[in-house]
Structure 1
């Protein structure tokens, strides 16, 4: 019997899980965040490497025992959602969102204004909004909420 897809809830990350998260983050960002300059990419990458990430909870999505994506959240807000580019358009992000909405009462997400695919994805998942602000890196983010 083939191994089924699985979403694993993690309240904290061990070093191996954090390394896996960083690998997926980097692959996904390089494939999708064309608006992010190299300097800020490296600043964020270093921050994530050194951050304890203890304030976040995670959902890790596995396909055939391989980690292919994750969602990090704090209270009712999605802080990060990244999928290995090999698994784009295979409903991995959708399954993570549905699990987060159903089991953890997620209500909000903030998305870079230049990340058109992410905005389209979250709107498809039922998020709405257009309130903007500029983050610490000078990027404009859009606040989206469930109605």
Structure 2
């Protein structure tokens, strides 16, 4: 079931985000992700429309939209590769005619995932905080 997140769930969502980020980005230090956790909980998630995915009465993933920009899409690493991320994106795409997102270029799995959903790379930049290249991807109906 996909539904709006509650404020009380944000600590759990940040835990999912942290574990999934560390797994998906071995080229970025664990300390970097840990340093961003409070910002994610207190500033980034509250500024977005956050939807959670429940399975068996347990929140296993979420997506966070800021207007037409996908700020976050994360699934608990324990249950990745079962289509949950695709389900969250299908829900987000049904409610938008255009979506953009930034993804680290070296995260080949994520770039491939978004390409399969119809996203294309439209720009690239170097992230000043990590020195890693990021790709701006866009999708439109």
Q: TM (normalized to structure 2)?
A: 0.89
Which runs of at least 4 in structure 1 moved beyond 3 Å after TM superposition? none
Q: Distance in 2 between matches of 1:21 and 1:106?
A: 25
Q: Size of the alignment, in residue pairs?
A: 139
Q: How much does 1:29 deviate?
A: 1.6
The answer (yes or no) to whether the contact 1:128–1:146 under 8 Å persists in 2 is: yes
Number of the residue aligned with 2:3: 8
Q: TM (normalized to structure 1)?
A: 0.86
What is the RMSD computed on CA atoms of the aligned residues?
Answer: 1.7
Q: Tell me, which stretches of 5 or more residues in structure 2 are unaligned? A: none
Number of the residue aligned with 2:72: 80
The answer (yes or no) to whether the contact 2:60–2:75 under 8 Å persists in 1 is: yes
The answer (yes or no) to whether the contact 1:131–1:143 under 8 Å persists in 2 is: yes
**CA 1:86–1:44: 2 relative to 1, 3 Å:** same
Q: Deviations over 1:71-125 (max 9, x none)?
A: 0110101011111011111100000000000024442111011111000000011
1:95 equivalenced with 2:87 (yes/no): yes
Q: Distance in 2 between matches of 1:58 and 1:88?
A: 19
